[in-house]
Structure 1
């Protein structure tokens, strides 16, 4: 009986549903965390060459500062995707990065590590069970496999 259960577990180990998260879906989830007081404008999100890129403008002391953040996915735990801040302009200003990238409950920023709760995206939340077992950025899409 135990052998049969182990065989069943192993056969289901890699089974899951693969979902395509486009940059538009990601941007929509990000915009839901913002209010008009954030003064962030011209926000765009893209998935290229294995990276997530966020670009926009932030009003700081009566002038617009253009920002750019390039993030690399490194790990997944449950339905939370962990990314590392690889590059940011203006030059990894920690306070500015925190203001832009810390968007609880969807996205949390701490010391160049961003944790994104993918359950904030309707397409992921529609799958009632399972955790992320695989993820990759390919063909301008974030592909997420939610295991059974």
Structure 2
């Protein structure tokens, strides 16, 4: 009889799935003035919706569409490049949407997603992101053991 080998159960790592709805709920957290939808395709994460912009004493809802492309993984953080923003590319809008520590950080057209902040990953105290892929509706990753 063979000794217990955890790699038999988990294969190449522990599978974790972050859905579009999970990302949406984090972005909406602490902000009631945003109407945001998140779509995950095999190549990009696309956010669309409206956010309230204040200019002097006026408030206006501004529609936006942001396209993100994953470009780099380090330990438990995935970095996304801001590929496109419509109709206007304004840093303060990106800051307002993605300033969600410890989940997201926005700096220099890069969005860093710290997956350790997610409850689903926090339950696993060890391991780094071994691999990840975008599929329709989700970001699937494997944590190394």
Q: Deviations over 1:105-128 (max 9, x none)?
A: 211111111101112221121222
Q: Say yes or no: does 1:57 pair with 2:50.
A: yes
Give the CA deviation at 1:77: 0.9
- Count of matched residue pairs: 131
TM-score of the pair, normalised by structure 2 = 0.81
Quote the residue 2:15 is aligned against.
18
Q: Say yes or no: does 1:115 pair with 2:105.
A: no
Residues in 1 aligned to 2:31 and 2:92: alpha-carbon distance in whole angstroms? 19
Residues in 2 aligned to 1:35 and 1:29: alpha-carbon distance in whole angstroms? 10
1:135, 1:144 within 8 Å by CA — same for their partners in 2?
yes
Corresponding residue to 1:74 among 71, 82, 90? 71
Gaps of 5+ in 2: 1-10
Quote the residue 1:10 is aligned against.
none
Q: Say yes or no: does 1:98 pair with 2:95.
A: yes
Residues in 1 aligned to 2:61 and 2:26: alpha-carbon distance in whole angstroms? 23
The structure-2 alpha-carbon separation of the partners of 1:77 and 1:92, relative to structure 1 and needing over 3 Å to count, comes to: same
The aligned runs of 1:29-48 (5 Å cut-off) are: 29-32=26-29, 34-36=30-32, 39-40=33-34, 42-48=35-41
Moved over 3 A (4+): none
Residues in 2 aligned to 1:145 and 1:27: alpha-carbon distance in whole angstroms? 21
Gaps of 5+ in 1: 1-13
* Aligned-residue CA RMSD (Å): 1.7
2:27, 2:98 within 8 Å by CA — same for their partners in 1?
no
Larger helix proportion of the pair: 1
TM-score of the pair, normalised by structure 1 = 0.80
